[in-house]
Amino acid sequence: MDRKKTVKDRLNDVEESLDNIARSGLAQGCSGLLVHEFKDVVSEYWTQAEHNASRNNELVI
């Protein structure tokens, strides 16, 4: 369970960093698109993991 929390915390840190890059205007053009695509992938991953967890009563990473 500690490993799962660590992974989730690190992904949250990455997402926060990407938000900061996007807000600061440093992400331009393709870089900006990659920031948003990565955030979408992470969000979709967590949505699926939470769905699986609710079905299995656990969080699977």
Q: At which residue do the structure tokens 């769905």 appear?
A: 51
Report the pLDDT value the prediction gives residue 58, as an integer from 0 to 100: 60
| Domain parsing of the chain, residue ranges | 2-56
Q: Is the pLDDT of residue 59 over 60?
A: no
Residue among 48, 50, 49, 14 at smallest CA distance from 34: 14
Give yes or no for a contact between 15 and 39, defined as CB atoms under 8 angstroms apart: yes
Per-residue pLDDT tens over the stretch 3-40? 777 877 887 888 788 777 777 776 666 677 777 788 78
